[in-house]
Structure 1
């Protein structure tokens, strides 16, 4: 039945798919009816015609549909930014809600050795309570920064980069209207 569903999805007749697979129409009818199982050569050939053979064999699709993809937009990006594609299954497995995510572009060299200028990070805006040992996107004045945060006594944050040329500093986000925690960095891309 799954082979028939694939043939119908591709808007092909039994004769057309039989020809693509190098078999007779009778064999195609038998495959679709379940009285015979297709061999590997047939499956290889119909895959070239667009048949999702993983679905035919296992019932699980190997193809990604537009429903499987979520577009996450660049924070502060242009209006015509369509977003960066992420697989919905991956986001779900990580416990991330797409509506709470944004992309931040790394600027400068303060995170060099880990992140480079122009790299992108995926930021979870639902996770804005800093925890030591994680990276966060911060807005400090007019700057959008990606930094490590360490929570010190009294809720003060020690903010640092990966590049030793940039000194760490302390800030109390509760007392400073100049600092806003955008969210925790959950993934990154790095151009080589």
Structure 2
């Protein structure tokens, strides 16, 4: 192992521990979540870097994966307000992901005011490749409302892959457009009726069905798939 690689691994160990402390999680909490020993988690913080597959799993309990890999926390991820299509990055190993003013809502919906980039996030190209996201057209979308709790919470920042072909998103948690409103909901395509069942993970909200006619006349479409939560507001 080269001295540069050793230094990089030590830095990841340090950032992993720092992120665990930020979330007020013990080594045992991490070990129990992953189904392994606390001794192994301790080794990740002192000797060897955490395997990428385990780190990806920890994103499910709020770990800021980008921070562990790059040292950039949530505050430093928002690099600048964008002007036009300027997506230059500060380092060749980073990929610029724009945030659009879609105001995606996980509650009753939110009126779209614009679709121009308003900010950008710099994500590790290595992390994107590890999660099979490097060839996708990505954007960052904030969640508004509580209808997707306990999957998504008000204020969460989600990484969304935008789609052009509606067949790419037949089910799962997606960003949807209905008329002038945008929602984050769970969908399932009904092949018989050619419509969508739309549901909320928070059962206080009613499910509904989108008819084929609303799709055909352009009132409804799937904007993209929620791939990851970049930053959680609740743990």
Normalising by structure 1, what TM-score? 0.60
Q: CA deviation at 1:178?
A: 1.7
Q: CA deviation at 1:128?
A: 4.0
Match of 2:149 in 1: 112
Q: 1:141 aligns with which of 163, 168, 179?
A: 179
Secondary structure of 1:89's aligned partner: helix
| Residue pair 1:71, 1:82 contacting (<8 A) in 2 also | no
Q: 1:117 to 1:124 in 2, by over 3 A?
A: same
Match of 1:184 in 2: 225
Q: CA deviation at 1:145?
A: 0.9
Secondary structure of 1:154's aligned partner: coil
The superposition leaves residues 57-104 of structure 1 with CA deviations (integer Å, 9 ceiling, x where unpaired) of: 9xxxx9858112212111227978441232111212333246611111
Residues 1:175 and 2:210 aligned together = no
Larger Rg: 1
Equivalences, count: 138
Normalising by structure 2, what TM-score? 0.50
| Residue pair 2:100, 2:118 contacting (<8 A) in 1 also | no
- Runs of 4+ with deviation above 4 angstroms: 62-65, 77-80
Q: CA deviation at 1:175?
A: 2.5
1:1-192 pair list within 5 angstroms? 52=4, 54=6, 66-76=91-101, 81-97=118-134, 100-126=137-163, 128-129=166-167, 130-132=169-171, 134-152=172-190, 153-171=192-210, 172=212, 174-188=215-229, 189-192=231-234
Q: Which runs of 5+ in 2 are unaligned?
A: 10-48, 50-68, 71-89, 103-113
Q: 1:154 to 1:66 in 2, by over 3 A?
A: same
Match of 1:30 in 2: none
Q: CA deviation at 1:137?
A: 0.6
- Asked which structure has the greater RCO (Cα within 8 Å, sep 6+), the reply is 2
Distance in 1 (alpha carbons) for counterparts of 2:117 and 2:170: 34
Q: 1:170 to 1:117 in 2, by over 3 A?
A: same
